[in-house]
Amino acid sequence: MIFVLGIDAATWTVVRPNLDKLPSFARLCRTGRGSDMVLEETPISPSVWCSMFCGKLPDEHKHGSFVSGGKLVRRQDIAVDFIWDILDREGRTVKALNVPFVVPPYSFGVDFRPVGFGLPTNDKEWQEELERVTQKTRQLMAGAPDVLIACYTLLDRVQHFHWGEPCVLDWYRKVDSKMGELVFDSGFLDNKDNRLIVISDHGFCSFGESKVQTLPMKSEEGELKGDHHENALVITVNLDYDIKAPQDVFRAIRQHVGS
Ligand SMILES: [Zn+2]
């Protein structure tokens, strides 16, 4: 099985200096290989997640925003085949859970109602997303599909509201603990045939530190405290493929799950 764990907005800026408090990240860095994925395109979530799973550049898939013409963009508005569409046609089993290239996030081959319509905004919803995505992912893992993709969106939301505050690290610790359940406690990494990609779609920083401002400083929910950074986080275990750009996730899966 190849398992892609997407963690929206996870950044080495928080992880690296806190590895002593993030035991699963630390263990993954020892077991596998951590690296930066430096985005050449604008670090906007819909586009980057889309590229990861359709293997195309933003110019090719043309999906750059959650909203277009005043309407939420839906899966069917994006004229691409995703890795799950392709592998499913080839008779492989693929499950995708809560992938945030559209709002609400998209799932394939699994029934899942995203927390807070995919835009969780407070502690209660962040906790709920953590628990529900983890629980569903454990369940899907037990079925041993060829490819499993699951994403947490909460860190992006936490950081937008609280970047620079101590609670950001608290949420990384919670994610770290759930990630530990998924990849270590489940025995997933004990099976040497299993492969893992942990990846974010962009990093995070204070306003003005990124090359391109991707978001307004004020939103409907109040003032935003940070912005997306072009350096995304990648950790791979047992993967014979260098992830240097979002499209490489598609290629890596393709390589390991041959037709
Ligand atoms: Zn994002």
> What's the domain count of the chain?
1
Q: Which residues surround ligand 1, an ion (CB under 5 A)?
A: 8-9, 45, 156, 201
| Ligand 1 mean position, distance from CA 7 (Å) | 8
Q: How far is the CA of 226 from the centre of ligand 1 (A)?
A: 12
Q: Give how far Cα 217 sits from Cα of 98, 119, 165, 211, 223, Å.
A: 26, 17, 17, 15, 6
113-127, 170-184, 189-203, range with the lowest pLDDT: 113-127
Does the pLDDT value for residue 259 go beyond 70? no
User: Measured in angstroms, how far is the CA atom of residue 222 from the centroid of ligand 1?
Assistant: 18
CA distance 152 to 141: 16
Distance 91 CA to ligand 1 centre (A): 31
Report CA(157)–ligand 1 centroid distance (Å). Answer: 9
Cα–Cα nearest to 54, from 102, 118, 8, 104 = 102
Q: What integer best gives the mean pLDDT of the chain?
A: 93
Residue 258 pLDDT level (bands cut at 50, 70, 90): confident
Q: State the distance from the centre of ligand 1 to the C-alpha of 21, rounded, in angstroms.
A: 23
Report how far ligand 1's centroid is from the alpha carbon of 192 (Å): 31
Instruction: Please tell me the predicted confidence (pLDDT) of residue 53.
Output: 98
**In the numeric block, which tokens belong to residue 164?**
């620079």
Instruction: Please give the distance, rounded to the nearest whole angstrom, from the Cα atom of residue 9 to the centre of ligand 1.
Output: 5
Q: 219 pLDDT exceeds 80?
A: no
Q: Does residue 37 contact residue 246 with C-beta atoms inside 8 Å?
A: yes
**Ligand 1 mean position, distance from CA 29 (Å):** 22
The helix (run of H) or strand (run of E) holding residue 46 is: helix 45-54
Ligand 1 centroid, distance to 10 Cα (angstroms): 9
Cα 144 to chain centroid distance, Å, stands at 20
130 CA distance to ligand 1 centroid (A)? 16
- What spacing in Å lies between the alpha carbon of 112 and ligand 1's midpoint? 20
Domain range enclosing 50: 2-256
CA of 202 to the centre of ligand 1 (A): 6
Strands (E), 10-86: 33-38, 67-68, 71-72
**What is the Å distance from ligand 1's center to 201 Cα?**
5
Termini Cα distance of the chain: 15
pTM of the predicted protein model: 0.94
- Kindly state the tokens that stand for 174: 């919670």
Instruction: Please report the pLDDT score of residue 169 as a whole number.
Output: 98
pLDDT in tens, 62-101: 999 999 999 999 999 999 999 999 999 999 999 999 999 9
Give the model's pLDDT for residue 187: 96
CA 116 – ligand 1 centroid, Å: 16
How far is CA 133 from each of CA 112, 124, 151, 227, 251, rounded to the nearest angstrom?
Answer: 9, 14, 7, 25, 25
98-120 residue pLDDT tens: 999 999 999 999 999 999 888 89
In this structure, what CATH number is given to the domain that contains residue 116? 3.40.720.10
**Amino acid identity at 88:** D
CA of 190 to the centre of ligand 1 (A): 30
| C-alpha 88 to ligand 1 mean position (Å) | 26
